Amino acid sequence: MDAGAYANDIEQVLLSREEIQGRVAELGARITADYEGLDLLLIGVLKGAFVLMADLSRHIGLPLEFDFMAVSSYGAATQTSGVVRILKDLDHEIAGKHVLLVEDIVDSGLTLSYLLKNLRTRRPASLEVCALMQKNDVQQVPLDIKYRAFDIPPVFVVGYGLDFGERFRNLPFVGTLRPEVYRDAVT
């Protein structure tokens, strides 16, 4: 485990650096094959997906464009509120483009469902989702996630772009926090 200054905060590593990098390379190869001959636009959902999007893009052997959206459905909580606000919209039009929405984690699916509906109104040529993780047994809306690296248990995780209080995003793995980290954050 390469947790550095956060070593005392991590309870368990769920996905190692090696596991993540291996699956991201596999997804990149699959995306390359699926979109061969097409221009692809990656849309990263900020802030959490920026690490995945950077690594994934280096494994896609196609011409790529990049754009980002920032949404909020968590605030400072560890569970989604279900209310989605767009904090930063796309910089470019997506009509007629092949779009791959890159997401860090899917849990309830409410935020992703909202984003997909919003993006479909902009008439992309195609719209698919690539997610690093999906939590088991917590999805509240039906979603088709074409590219998913991992299924994980319904626990709060940090690392590889995911945060708690804007910390832990730079960890090269995905793990859970020790309970005292939560207690210390609310006291």
CA 64 – CA 23 distance, rounded (Å): 20
Query: Nearest Cα to 6, choosing from 186, 187, 138, 163?
Result: 163
Taking phi over 0 as left and psi of -120 to 50 as alpha, with beta for the rest, 123 belongs to left
CB neighbour class for 143 (10 Å; exposed up to 12, middle 13-18, buried from 19): middle
Residue 100, beta-bridge partner list:
42, 128
- What residues act catalytically? 107
Rounded distance between C-alpha atoms, residue 132 and residue 14, angstroms:
13
Q: What is the β-pairing status of strands 10-15 and 174-177?
A: antiparallel
Cα–Cα dist 95/20, whole Å = 32
